[in-house]
Amino acid sequence: MRALLLVAALGGCREHEGPPEPHPLTRTPGAAAANAATRVLYQSGPGSFVDVIASARHGVVAIHSATPVKSGPAAMFPGAPDTAPDVALGTGFLVEAKGIYVLTNQHIAAASPNLKVVLEGGTELPAKLLGSDVPLDLALLSIEPPHPLKPLPLADSNDLQVGDWLIALGNPFGDEVSASVGIVSATGQKAAASLLNGVAMTYRMFIQTDARIHRGNSGGPVLDTAGEVVGIAVAVGDRPGELSFVIPINRAREIFDPLREQGRVARSWLGATVLPVTPEQALQLGMTKPIGALVTGVQPNSPAIRAALRNGDVILRWDGRDVDSKSLPWLVAQTPVGKAVAVALWRNKAEFPLTVVTEKMPQ
């Protein structure tokens, strides 16, 4: 991979004129066509991430504590004890959420009662915790900068595909933006979603990547090659070879308002498990195409059972919005607690209306 990136970088250099000469060892009879194909393959990859990182560094901030804490990013240095004290906690980044705020991990914001944000250039500002969400490990901070700040642009994380490039940025010490690069190993979009026991998010539903994510860049932005944020880095450990996880930015968008206005996220639940409708199941159910979310389990003493939802029902629309097994959990979770929701089902080979009154998600 290093050789591939090196050749690609040379191929994409502005000062390099024409394609690179093949290595002398490749100058063998009959190998010209193979070498040309190899050069095209190498040069088709990203030549450099320098411009992407340079365009985003203004939005990456360091999260510090007013007093030293233990087991922060300083403990990552070679030879440092696991309890090495330091004021650095992790990374955050600037987002637009009806104002400019700082988004970071909840476990970082919870590490100190007195938080500070270090902007690019070293300006240090006191930060106020507006709200946090433990299930998603997200926290929203407010600051009062001396000049207008520019937030990072947000992408649509649902557009990610396995194999897309990702760039994880961090700056826990406020000195220099660091970067790690990898690809999307799994999007998490096909992980089974359960509304049975109030589960709104698990690591299986996070984006997985082979980019190195550690305590230093935890809470920082993860970018696509267009320089837009597709997720938030979250470190679950520092051992080499561990999976790296990224919280999809679409999940964060959904909770900006409640974090800013209520300081927490009150989620609703349904009490049902759902799966995608396969073409074979659609044919058996008399549907013209496989759409909606197939109900495969209903829990006793739940909103689903009280609404007479059954196994085998297909939920087509929730509160007027078309749904499938991936979108339904998030729509249910965001629905206000106690709301009577109009639900369109497919039952007995026809559409069937149902009303579900949502309840607070069990803790």
Report the candidate in 314, 78, 93, 50 with the shortest Cα–Cα distance to residue 219.
Answer: 93
The question of whether 218 is a catalytic residue gets the answer yes
- CB 270 within 8 Å of CB 332: yes
The question of whether 58 is a catalytic residue gets the answer no
- CB 196 within 8 Å of CB 297: yes
Coil, helix or strand for 350?
Answer: strand
Alpha helices in 44-80 (DSSP H): 50-56
Residue among 86, 133, 137, 224 flagged as catalytic: 137
How buried is 59 (Cβ within 10 angstroms: 0-12 exposed, 13-18 middle, 19+ buried)? buried
Whole-number Å distance between alpha carbons of 171 and 178: 6
Residue among 112, 132, 180, 218 flagged as catalytic: 218
Maximal C-alpha separation, the chain: 77
List b or e across 336-354, with b for residues whose CB sees 16 or more CB atoms inside 10 angstroms. Answer: eeeeebebbbbbeeeeeeb
Whole-number Å distance between alpha carbons of 52 and 44: 17
User: In the 8-state DSSP scheme, what is residue 266?
Assistant: -
The question of whether 107 is a catalytic residue gets the answer yes
Alpha helices in 88-231 (DSSP H): 106-109
Whole-number Å distance between alpha carbons of 164 and 292: 28
- CB 69 within 8 Å of CB 109: no
Query: Using CA of residue 142, residue 54, residue 74, residue 242, what is the dihedral sign?
Result: positive
Provide the angle, in degrees to the nearest 10, between the axes of the packed helices 32-43 and 2-12: 80
Residue among 107, 180, 302, 325 flagged as catalytic: 107
Cross-strand pairs, 142:
128
Strands 178-186 and 165-170: antiparallel
Catalytic residue numbers read 107, 137, 218
